[in-house]
A = this chain, B = another copy of it.
Amino acid sequence: MKPICLLLCSGVVLASSIFVAVAGAKGDTNPQAASPIYGVTIPEGYRQWELVAPAEEAEPLNELRAVLGNAVAIKAYRERTLPFPDGTVLAKLAWKHVQSPEFESASVPGAATTVQVMVKDSKKYAATGGWGFGRFVDGEPADEAQHQTCFACHEARVQGHDYVFTRYAP
């Protein structure tokens, strides 16, 4: 149940008691769900990781996002180490992009949508640039067809940055 709780239950404002109950129920049914193809799970404690960078995704997804990195990832970013070393884990959190009710020109995170995870293991994932991928919606992994698209896109677009889109925000 822990990954789901980290994802959904820590919200101060949005997590109503009903919402928490639903998240708990989901967690109970699939506590350690792993992504197809790669077997990647939502890493414990990822919401406490340091920020790599925020981002925005336009319509149709219309999301605010933040990429967090574990200690190995952050060290590699700060020291400009490429390729990223084994043990690097990146977690991209996404929320609906919502107009702030309190400030006209500001947008803020709405409901959480997806958590996407990249895990570096150059032996285990040798066929995909050393990276395993996991895409989770409400804590549940997306299907195999979605996971088959991950590496092809990263390979086509950011091969020169070890298949990672996100740069460290200065």
A interface residues with partner B (beta carbon < 8 Å): 7-15, 47-51, 53-59, 61, 64-66, 68, 77-78, 80, 93, 95, 97, 100, 102-103, 105-109, 111-112, 157-158, 165-170
Which listed residue (B102, B107, B112) contacts A170, Cβ 8 A?
Answer: B112
In-complex Cβ contact of A66 among B47, B66, B165, B166 (8 A):
B66
Copies of this chain, count: 2
Q: Is the CB of A54 within 8 A of B66?
A: yes
B8 x A170 contact (CB < 8 A):
yes
Taken together as a complex, chains A and B put the C-alpha atoms of A97 and B57 apart, in Å, by 11
Minimal Cβ-Cβ distance residue in B for A65: B54
Q: Which residues of B contact A51 (CB under 8 A)?
A: 47, 51, 66, 68
From B49, B58, B100, contact of A165 by CB (8 A): B100
How far, in angstroms, from A7 to B108 measured CA to CA in the complex?
Answer: 23
Residue with the highest number of chain B CB atoms closer than 10 Å, among A12, A100, A102:
A12
A115 to chain B, nearest CB (A): 11
* In contact, B54 and A64 (Cβ under 8 angstroms): yes
* Residue contact A55 to B50, C-beta cutoff 8 Å: no
Name the CB-closest residue of B to A60.
B105
Q: With A157-B103, A167-B13, A169-B93 given, is the CB distance from A108 to B53 under 8 Å?
A: yes
A73 to B169 Cα, complex, angstroms: 22
A91 to chain B, nearest CB (A): 11
Alpha-carbon distance between A15 and B168 when the two chains are bound, in angstroms = 10
**Which residues of B lie under 8 Å from residue A54 when comparing CB positions?**
54-55, 64-66, 95, 109
